[in-house]
């Protein structure tokens, strides 16, 4: 399991109100105690943006987070706790403030070759595939290609020298001790076709690029971990995942949440079969990175309309499917926040260590709205109760950690029984069954074997069990 960590909001080590590497190092025991085996670190490179995805220097740590010495210590301490750390690396574009872009504007080679410039005025008709926004930004007498907005000029990987530079970047971060990378916007390396003058995903070219980058990285660290972000349908995700080894399963995250929202067993069955087909066989060339939320999505409890029982139930579903689970920071406290594409800080609010909202290590880089002091969402408050959301969340995570074999399990069967969802998994001689009640009322099931619950509760009856609403029973 991996913990998705946004440094700015997590823990402040130097008292300036902004989360940093020193603060995160001091909280590694907390992350380890959750049952995590690794950390997905969101971008830490120099950047003018709060999120870090517009980079100004690929070879340096953002000064607000610390320096290379602080990073080395963080990685060393994480490794002492058997925590792998992968770095989120956005190689698709840079900031307009990057030295490369500024020198490119002056016509300097090779930098002018490292970006995409308008060559034909008909290209100005091109639009972004998902929301039809313009993709060309004017500057002086020309335009540059910027799929993710004017502040993010895309890099031009038709340039061989840029490929070489990217290999150097990977070498640099691996040499510092990172265990691998989460590659941002993996399907966008080649996504504008000069031939048609419009946006067009060129999957074969993208995969060739990533094959080169991952091969280079494995020469440095044969055990390097790679996770691809390909936000698309399952068939497209599968194209990339074999190259990386792990692919984020975006479709499954929606299947789980939509099945719960619709109280629909069949929706989950159909969706699961469509998004996890490789786990129904013994042979597979990649794994799924399974998750419910991330930094680009509305938080889990908010998604469940504030229903914490449904949120724990959703987590139990996630922790019982094959693959590698990823958990977004703060979800273990039931933090809330709606993702908004234009103003998307709400789901990135500071991690509430204290019920008062203030104290040593508390980040204060932005005002809070959804997770205000006194709401009972703090670690301080919840760590004192065995019935808190944190305690229930941690119990579910530890269930998964104690059964690492589930990562590679095969799906033997998935079906409906007495109005409940049943999922059966095997791995070698191991066998486990999960029974989920996706409804607002209890269900009676005829079960002879001993069971325990992963979420909610169940009581024994003369003929089996009475599985309460939003509960998950386990047979081992």
Residue-wise pLDDT tens digits, 359-409? 999 999 999 999 999 999 999 999 999 999 999 999 999 999 999 999 999
Residue 80, judged by CB atoms within 10 A of its CB (0-12, 13-18, 19+), counts as exposed
Residue 469, pLDDT score: 96
Q: Which domains does the chain have, with CATH numbers?
A: 2-96+156-404 (3.20.20.80), 409-475 (2.60.40)
DSSP 8-state assignment for residue 153: P
Averages of pLDDT over each 10 residues, the chain, 476 residues: 98 97 98 97 96 96 98 98 98 97 96 97 94 95 95 96 97 98 95 92 95 97 95 86 93 96 96 94 90 96 97 97 98 96 85 97 95 96 97 97 96 96 96 96 87 91 91 95
CA distances from 48 to 4, 57, 94, 136, 459 (A): 21, 10, 11, 21, 55
Distance CA 351, CA 169 (A): 31
Distance CA 374, CA 143 (A): 50
SS3 161: helix
For the question of residue 229 being annotated catalytic, the response is yes
Q: Which of 167, 148, 149 is nearest to 157 (CA)?
A: 167
Distance CA 203, CA 191 (A): 8
The answer to whether 55 and 95 are in contact (CB under 8 A) is: yes
Residue 449, pLDDT score: 79
Contacts with 77 (C-beta within 8 Å, 6 or more apart), sequence order: 25, 28
Q: How many helices (H) and strands (E) does the chain have?
A: 14, 22
Distance CA 325, CA 260 (A): 19
Distance CA 433, CA 423 (A): 6
- Neighbouring CB atoms inside 10 A of 291's CB total 24
Contacts with 287 (C-beta within 8 Å, 6 or more apart), sequence order: 241, 245, 246, 247, 322, 323, 324, 407, 408
The answer to whether 288 and 249 are in contact (CB under 8 A) is: yes
DSSP 8-state assignment for residue 155: B
DSSP H helices in 114-233: 160-176, 203-220
Rounded to two decimals, the pTM is 0.95
Residue 155, pLDDT score: 98
**Main-chain dihedrals φ then ψ at residue 85, nearest 5 degrees:** -130, 120
| Structure token digits, residue 434 | 């999960």
CA distances from 190 to 90, 159, 371 (A): 14, 12, 39
Residue 284, pLDDT score: 85
Annotated catalytic residue within 4, 154, 184, 346: 184
Residue 283, pLDDT score: 82
Residue 231, pLDDT score: 84
Distance CA 450, CA 31 (A): 32
Give the position of tokens 């504008």: 192
Whether the CA torsion 325, 331, 334, 340 is positive or negative: it is negative
Contacts with 391 (C-beta within 8 Å, 6 or more apart), sequence order: 382, 385
Q: Which of 212, 303, 217, 208 is nearest to 256 (CA)?
A: 303
Annotated catalytic residue within 70, 154, 191, 229: 229
Distance CA 100, CA 103 (A): 5
Residue 327, pLDDT score: 98
**Region of residue 437 (phi > 0: left; psi between -120 and 50: alpha; otherwise: beta):** beta
- Neighbouring CB atoms inside 10 A of 68's CB total 12
Determine which helix (DSSP H) or strand (DSSP E) holds 310, and give its type and residue range: helix 308-318
**Region of residue 288 (phi > 0: left; psi between -120 and 50: alpha; otherwise: beta):** beta
- Neighbouring CB atoms inside 10 A of 381's CB total 18
Residue 437, pLDDT score: 97
Q: Which of 114, 15, 139 is nearest to 58 (CA)?
A: 114
What are 337's strand-pairing partners? none
Give the position of tokens 């409890």: 301
């Amino acid at each position: 399991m991996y913990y998705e960590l946004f440094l700015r909001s997590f823990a402040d080590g130097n008292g300036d109100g902004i989360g940093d590497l020193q603060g995160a190092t001091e909280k590694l025991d907390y992350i380890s105690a959750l049952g995590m085996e690794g950390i997905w670190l969101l971008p830490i490179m120099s950047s003018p943006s709060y999120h870090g995805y517009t980079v100004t220097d690929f070879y340096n740590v953002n000064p607000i987070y610390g320096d290379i010495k602080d990073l080395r210590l963080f990685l060393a301490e994480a490794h002492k706790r058997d925590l792998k750390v992968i770095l989120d690396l956005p190689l698709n574009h840079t900031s307009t403030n990057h030295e490369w872009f500024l020198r490119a504007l002056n016509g300097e080679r090779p930098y002018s070759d490292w970006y995409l410039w308008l060559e034909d005025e008909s290209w100005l008709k091109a639009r972004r595939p998902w929301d039809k926004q313009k993709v060309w930004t004017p500057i002086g007498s020309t335009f540059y290609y910027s799929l993710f907005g004017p502040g993010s000029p895309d890099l031009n990987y038709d340039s061989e020298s840029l490929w070489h530079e990217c290999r150097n970047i990977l070498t640099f971060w691996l040499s510092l001790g990172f265990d691998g990378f989460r590659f941002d916007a993996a399907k966008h390396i080649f996504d504008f076709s000069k031939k048609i003058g419009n946006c067009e995903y060129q999957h074969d070219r993208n995969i060739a690029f990533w094959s080169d980058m991952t091969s280079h990285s494995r020469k440095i660290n044969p055990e390097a971990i790679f996770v691809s972000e390909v936000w698309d349908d399952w068939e497209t995700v599968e194209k990339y995942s074999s190259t990386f080894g792990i692919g984020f399963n975006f479709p499954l995250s929606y299947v789980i949440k939509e099945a719960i929202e619709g109280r629909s067993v069949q929706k989950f069955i159909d969706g699961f079969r469509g998004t996890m087909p490789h786990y129904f066989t013994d042979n597979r060339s990649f794994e799924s990175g399974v998750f419910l939320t991330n930094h680009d999505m509305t938080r889990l409890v908010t998604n469940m309309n504030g229903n914490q029982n449904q949120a724990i139930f959703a987590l139990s579903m996630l922790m019982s499917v094959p693959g590698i689970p990823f958990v977004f920071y703060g979800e273990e406290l039931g933090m809330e926040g709606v993702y908004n594409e234009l103003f998307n800080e709400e789901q990135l609010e500071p991690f509430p260590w204290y019920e008062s909202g203030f104290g040593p290590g508390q980040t204060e880089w932005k005002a809070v709205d959804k997770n205000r002091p006194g709401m009972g969402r703090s670690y301080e408050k919840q760590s004192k109760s065995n019935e808190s959301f944190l305690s229930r969340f941690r119990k579910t995570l530890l269930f998964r950690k104690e059964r690492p074999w589930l990562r590679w399990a095969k799906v033997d069967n998935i079906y409906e029984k007495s109005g409940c969802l049943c999922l059966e998994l095997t791995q070698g001689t191991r066998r486990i069954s999960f029974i989920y009640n996706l409804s607002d009322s209890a269900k009676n099931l005829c079960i002879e074997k001993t069971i325990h619950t992963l979420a909610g509760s169940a009581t024994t009856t003369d003929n089996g069990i009475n599985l309460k609403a939003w509960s998950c029973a386990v047979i081992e």
